[in-house]
Amino acid sequence: MSDDGYRAGAVDLLGILAYGALTAFERLAEDAQIAPTLTDKVQLATVAARQIGHFTSVSDQLAGMDVEVMAAMEPFHAPFDAFHGYTKPKDWYEGLVKAYVGDGFAADFYREVAAFVDADTRNLVHEVLAAEDLHAFIVAQVRQGTQNDPKLAGRLSLWGRRLVGEALSQAQRVAADRDALTSLLTGTVDRPGMDLAAISRMFSRLVANHTKRMAELGLQS
C-alpha cells in the first residue's frame, strides 16, 4: 500500500461495498415485510441478514487499513440514497426485480473494479458477491407472477429499464466525483489500467449482463 492513490481507490471500493450491503439489508428487510407467505419472508430475511455479515467483513478489512467504515461510506450516501429514493418498489415483484437486476448490475461493476486491487481486497469483494442463492428464488417467483398476470411482464420490463438507467446515472456521478476510484480503473504511470476503449467495452459488458438477467426473468430489456 505504498501508492496513496491506489489506497484511496481501494478504500472507496470498500466504502461502496459497505454502504451497498447496508442499504441492501434495509431494502430486503422492507421487501420481507410484504412477502406473500412466511416462507418467502424467511428467504428474504435470511439474505438481508447475510448483508450484515458482508458489512462486518468489509468493515474489518477497512479497520485493518486504519480506516473507519463510517468515514469510508460517507461519500456514497448521496448516490445510493438517490438511487433508492428514485426506485422505490411499489409491490413484491418490483422489489424482487430490483434485488435481482440492481444488485446484479452493482456486483458486475464491483467485480470489474476489483480486478485492479490487491488480492486480499479482491478476494473479499468476490466473497461478498458470491452469495447469490436468492437468484433461483426470484426467477421462479417472477416467472410465476407474470404467468398468472400477463400485464405484469410489461410493467416489470419498464421497471427493469428504469432501474438500469438510474444505476448508470448514479455510477457516472460516482465516477465523476471520486477520482481515486476512477484512477483504479484507468491506472497510473506505474500501474496498468484500462484505456478509454477498454472502459467502453466494460460498459458494454455491464449492459449485456443486464440484458441476460432480464431474459432469465422472462422480461424484455
Instruction: Pick the closer one to a second copy by CB: 1 or 38.
Output: 38
113 binds a second copy (CB under 8 A): no
- Taking residues 12 to 41 in sequence order and writing x for each that binds a second copy by CB under 8 A, - otherwise, the string is ----------x--xx--xx-xx----xx-x
Instruction: Pick the closer one to a second copy by CB: 24 or 156.
Output: 24
Among 6-14, 49-57, 85-93, 112-120, which window interacts with a second copy (CB under 8 A)? 49-57
56 binds a second copy (CB under 8 A): yes
Size of the site for a second copy (CB under 8 A): 23
Length of the chain: 221
Grid coordinates representing 88?
422505490
DSSP label of 98: I
80 binds a second copy (CB under 8 A): no
Q: Where does the chain have alpha helices with state H?
A: 4-33, 38-64, 69-73, 77-86, 92-97, 103-114, 119-130, 134-148, 150-177, 179-186, 196-216
Nearest to 14 by CA among 77, 73, 83: 73
* Cβ atoms of residues 143 and 96 within 8 Å: no
Amino acid at 188: T
**Minimal distance in Å, beta carbon 17 to a second copy?**
14
Residue ranges in contact with a second copy by CB under 8 A: 22, 25-26, 29-30, 32-33, 38-39, 41-42, 45-46, 48-53, 55-56, 70, 73
